[in-house]
Amino acid sequence: MYDLAIIGAGWAGFNAGLKARKLGLQTVLIDKSEIGGTCLNLGCIPTKALIQSAKVFNLVKKSSAFGINTSVPAIDFVKIQERKDKIIQQLRLGMRSMLKDIDFLSAEAQILSANEIKVSGSSPVQAKNILIAAGSMPYELPQFKFDAKKILSSNEILSLKAIPGSLLIVGGGVIGCEFASLFLSLGSKVTVVEKMPQLLPGEDKETARKLENIFKKKGIKINTATDASSLNPDDFDIILVCVGRVPRTEGLGLEKLGLKLERSRIITDDYLCTNINNIYAAGDCASKIMLAHLASFQGRLAAQNIAQPDNRKSAAAACVPSCIFTDPEIASIGLSEDKAIANGLSVDIHKFDFLGSGMARILDEAEGFIKIISGQNSGIVLGASIIGPKATELIGILTLAVANSLSIKNLRQSIFAHPTLSESISEALE
């Protein structure tokens, strides 16, 4: 009998397996798909690989501004896709090599009882504990059924053989905005339709407005507060539907087991334990926030709580940054200005525009700003929003500040190197 059986080899399950091995648990990892889950195969890694190719293309196009004369650049989309696939394969092999002393079963799993899992093509797996890390999948709209030809999910669009002439993106959230930015750079005519009043619902309003203005200047058509059914599908070569994701829990036998669910999401306590005391859940299938870095954190924490039941740690206080790889990038942590005000908090807003950054000027990426929110009386950093160059890297500094309840005074006393983008944080506080 295994100490731990993990269903799902994505970021949550994989990292849980590594942590469990380190803590001495005999572990088996079960997944019917490729190791790495959505993030490696159909999400974070492939999209960012494509985005990087688009960034290089954009940089080459404006190379004359840097005093570099080049011939007219051209896109080889087949090679872009081959590079993406090679990166995935290399990382997948690396992850496989890290599974030493962890059994990996490439199979479908169904939980029969609190200690037994039915595995396709193999004998049932017996385990003292079970961790469900089954991930998520794209949500499908009734009026826009995925057909893998014209109406695509965020999974299928990654395998396009050619760049679409025109692209309608249904959903102006994180995924929609990233693909809008990508395909505009590659030469598509892009239209985004979002049912909510702003792009990136839930993000800081000022940041979202800034991105919308930049998108419009670049030629993306934006339709907010609009139902997608009001547009004519025949006007577009490809329709990408990305209106969210749903937990992948169907077929696992959870209802028969009596596991508590809420709209297919597994309900856990702060320690990631379900209502059955030896079954835990982590990642997209159990989290309201579907982010790979949170899934990884939860997977490790779940394994630790299983291995050390007398010293369990809570996942409730996790400080989770949001990163959006548009051009320009967007990142946020903690409370936005809007949420702080909605919560009745008295706050100070510290802001710096990248137009004043020497390094942003050097990079020719001076559009955007840093906004830091602190408590008016305490001076504690409550949150931050960034739109601009390397926002997804810069947010790490402010994540540390929020997670450790640092004050504006603490940050002001830190010396940031010059010339760098990070010194814009200290500039925002002066």
Could you give the residue numbers annotated as active site? 418
Both 86 and 32 in one domain: the answer is: yes
> How many domains is the chain partitioned into structurally?
3
**Cα(54)–Cα(183) distance, rounded to whole angstroms?**
8
Query: Do residues 199 and 192 lie in contact, with contact meaning Cβ atoms separated by under 8 Å?
Result: yes
Both 293 and 389 in one domain: the answer is: no
Both 133 and 226 in one domain: the answer is: no
The CATH number linked to 11 is 3.50.50.60
Q: Write down the pLDDT at residue 279.
A: 98
Is 239 part of a structural domain of the chain? yes
Of 223, 243, 263, the residue that ends a domain is 243
Is 189 part of a structural domain of the chain? yes
In order of 106, 107, 197, 301, 384, the CA distances from 254 in angstroms are 20, 18, 37, 22, 39
First-to-last C-alpha distance (Å) of the chain: 60
Is 69 part of a structural domain of the chain? yes
Both 43 and 83 in one domain: the answer is: yes
Q: Write down the pLDDT at residue 130.
A: 98
CB < 8 Å & 24+ apart, contacts of 309-315: 312/271, 313/271, 314/270, 314/271, 315/270, 315/271, 315/272
Both 250 and 239 in one domain: the answer is: no
User: Tokens in use for 207?
Assistant: 């940041």
Both 368 and 337 in one domain: the answer is: yes
Is 266 part of a structural domain of the chain? yes
DSSP, res 123:
P
Both 292 and 199 in one domain: the answer is: no
As averages over each run of 10 residues, the pLDDT of the chain (430 residues) reads: 98 98 98 95 97 97 94 94 98 96 96 96 94 97 95 97 98 98 98 97 96 98 96 97 97 95 97 98 97 98 98 94 98 95 95 98 97 97 98 98 96 96 95
Is 321 part of a structural domain of the chain? no
Is 316 part of a structural domain of the chain? no
Both 12 and 92 in one domain: the answer is: yes
Of 221, 243, 265, the residue that ends a domain is 243
Q: Write down the pLDDT at residue 142.
A: 94
Task: Give the DSSP per-residue string, 247-314.
Answer: E--TTS-HHHHT--EETTEEP--TTSB-SSTTEEE-GGGT-SS--HHHHHHHHHHHHHHHH-GGG---
Is 216 part of a structural domain of the chain? yes
Residue 10's domain spans which residues? 2-137+246-311
Is 188 part of a structural domain of the chain? yes
The CATH number linked to 354 is 3.30.390.30
Q: Write down the pLDDT at residue 122.
A: 85
Both 276 and 225 in one domain: the answer is: no
Phi-psi region of 18 (alpha: psi -120 to 50; beta: other; left: phi over 0): alpha
Both 238 and 269 in one domain: the answer is: no
Cα dihedral 234/240/244/245 (nearest 10): 120
Q: Write down the pLDDT at residue 430.
A: 86
Both 255 and 114 in one domain: the answer is: yes
Both 176 and 269 in one domain: the answer is: no
**Cα(198)–Cα(336) distance, rounded to whole angstroms?**
15
Of 243, 262, 279, the residue that ends a domain is 243
